[in-house]
Each structure stands twice: as structure tokens, then as C-alpha cells.
Amino acid sequence: MDESYLHFLWRYKRLPFHQLTLSNGGFFQLISEGVYNAFESGPDFSCAQMKMDEIHWVGNVEIHVQSSDWYAHGHHLDPAYNNVILHVVLIHDREVFINGTSVPTLELKSVIDKEHIQRQKKVVNTAIPCAPLAKVQKKLLFFELINPTLKNRLVRKTKSGFSSGSDTMQHFYSLIARAFGSKVNDLPFEVLAKQVPWKSLLEMDANQRFVAVVSVSGLFPAISSENKDNEVDPIDTYWWKCKGQHASSQPQKRVAQFAAFVSFLSIDFSFVNFNHLDIVNYFSEMLQKAFLDYGIPHQSNKSFLLNNILINAVSPLLVHFNQLNTALALMQSLEPENNFITRQFKTMGVKASNAGESQMLIELHNHMCSAKKCLNCAVGKYLLNT
């Protein structure tokens, strides 16, 4: 048995969760499997949600073949594992403790399908169920079929954050922070934006903003030690993920770039009335000036950061201000994203030509392909009817 197979079962919910109880007989109900950590050290899934003994839990999940692997792998010595809320194992052969408290355990050996184990090598890497059918369909107008997906994604992302009564600028600032973190470090960047909220930045000049952000990040010990009087403690360094990151994407560099950008950020939302090309220029010039003023190298990833900000922060803000058409035009004017999901579609002959199309693919994958909702998907229905 391979751990990656257990990851697959959990990730794609290929388990009879309604039959499962905790190893101590306690109640268990899965709400969300969480975000899969495919490349970095640390727990296998983050932000998972579940009910255990009628309490709603949110936190990390670690998966092992045997529960004793927790100690064999040295997790008891790593603080990154201190907020694991559930240990999922094939065989429960030893209790695991964090700070003296037993970690709830879910044992799977009674529900593993042996026939499925034999087939798993064929399907474990199939992220898109219809790929074999789509590859042989020469006249498949993929993006025409899923065209409404982009509008749906923008509206959904906007509604989830810019809710009635929320602080618009704080949420926009938080989205910008997540954009600097990309997928790997979006969570610690979001925490950083909460630890140094926008209302506190309003009381600071540009240099004070820069120092406050880098100090609270915890990635610059010398600066943090110089600011001991800061009311906010630095973030624990284990939050930041470094493994497998390109040199230009290392968290220290991204935090410095974010701090520089935040130094120039204002609460002026007049840009929402610009056309999409002027919006691109507006944020491009802001990045350029911020990085030059602080002497931060940026040529290798300025375009990547600009796209991330425009796609993940500016576009939802435009929709919030009833500028949906501008947001759609903006997305269609940007370079397509290159990530695991878009590369999966590329292998089946579907290549995004702009960010609007890559966002469609991400939305389709996350809400249809991963959930195997082929009969609710325009592409799935087309393929099954031809």
C-alpha cells in the first residue's frame, strides 16, 4: 500500500464516509476534504472541515499507512504538524499525541476496495474524466461550450468576499496579499494581511508600512528584532512554504515585493471606471515604481505578479463595482496561467489562449471534474451525446 493511493482516496472522496467512525467509536462526518499539499513538507491536507462528536472542526489532515508512521517520520518534532485535527490511516497501530492530547484517528482498512487497488494505477493520475473521449473529438469547441464558466467564476469569487457590510478595502488588500503568495503561500499572506490590517497601514507613511509588513512576516529576524515594540508578534516561519519554489518565488522575496507594493497602495478606487487596458497600465506602473524605489529586483516575475493581482484581486473588485464587462475584457487581455490544472487540459489538446480561458479551465476542474459531475458539465453532456 502506498500513501499516495490513500491521498487519492481522500482527495477524490472515493471512500464510504457515511460508514466511518473514529477509531474510538466517535461520530465522524466529512464536510470538506481540504486543500491537497502535493509538493511541500507539512500536513497532507490543509483547511479540511469535518464534524467530530458534533463539533465543527477546521484544520489539517495527515495521512499514513500506519499511525506509527507519525513518529517514524518525525512529525512529533515538527511544529508544522501541531494543528493536525485528524489522522487518517490504513492501520491504526499506535495512538498519536500532540501536546499530550490524543489526535482523532480514522482507520480505513475495513472499507478499502481490493479491486479498486488493482485499478488505481490507471486512474490515480486522471484529473479530467473525459480526457480519453475529448482527445479523439476533433471538432470539440471546448471554450464555446464552457463560455458561461468565466462569468460564473467571477461572480462567485466576488460574492464570497465582497459581502454586504464587509470592509471593501481590507478584502481587496487581502486578495492582493494572496496574489503575491500564489497558490503555495496564499494562506500565510492572508494571515499577514490580517495581522497588519489596512486600517493600521492608513496611519503609517510608506517606509513604516514596508517595515511593518516585513517585520510581522517573521522572515526577516533582524528587522523583527529591531521592532520589538510592535504590538503584533511575527508569524511563525513554518507557515511559509519554500520547497520546490523558483528563486524569484521564495517567500522572502515575495514578502519584500508585497511590502513595497503596499507602500504605494491607496484607497482610491477611481481605476474601476478605467477601460481594461488603462487598468493594466495603472497597476503595472504602481508595481514598477514600488520595486524601483525599494531597489527590489523584479524583471523575472513582474509580469507574473501583475497578472496574479489583476486576475485574483482587481477582477473581483470590478465585479463588486458592477463593472463585469470590464472584468471580462481584462481577463481576456491577459496571458493564460500555467499551472497543474491548465497543463492537464493541455495534454488532451485544450490550450488556453488568455487568462479568461485558463480561469474557465480552473473553474471547470474544481467544480465539475474533481467532483465527477460529468452529467452536469456542458463538455461532458456534449461528449456523451455524440
pLDDT surpasses 50 at 265: yes
pLDDT by residue (tens digit) across 65-100?
999 999 999 999 999 999 999 999 999 999 999 999
Which set of grid coordinates corresponds to residue 354?
488568455
Distance from chain centroid for Cα 80: 18
**Residue 133 backbone phi and psi in degrees, to 5:** -70, -40
pLDDT by residue (tens digit) across 104-152?
999 999 988 777 666 555 444 567 888 877 776 666 788 999 999 999 9
Q: Are residues 173 and 117 in the same domain?
A: no
Structural domain including 118 reads 3-123
Virtual torsion, Cα 379, 338, 153, 364, nearest 10 deg: 20
378 occurs within a structural domain: no
**Residue 57 backbone phi and psi in degrees, to 5:** -110, 145
Distance from chain centroid for Cα 32: 14
pLDDT by residue (tens digit) across 181-230?
988 899 999 999 999 999 999 999 999 999 999 999 989 887 766 766 66
Which set of grid coordinates corresponds to residue 261?
507594493
Q: Are residues 152 and 80 in the same domain?
A: no
pLDDT reported for residue 217 = 93
Residue 190 parent element (H or E): helix 168-195
131 occurs within a structural domain: no
Q: How many residues does the chain have?
A: 386
Q: Are residues 249 and 351 in the same domain?
A: yes
Q: Are residues 92 and 162 in the same domain?
A: no
As a whole number of angstroms, the distance between CA 336 and CA 353 comes to: 6
136 occurs within a structural domain: no
Q: Are residues 46 and 81 in the same domain?
A: yes
What is the domain count for the chain? 2
Q: What is the pTM of this model?
A: 0.71
Q: Are residues 104 and 178 in the same domain?
A: no
Residue type, 213: V
Buried b (16+ CB within 10 A) or exposed e, 297-332: ebeebbebbbbbbbbbbbbbbbbbbebbebbbbbbe
Which set of grid coordinates corresponds to residue 216?
510581522
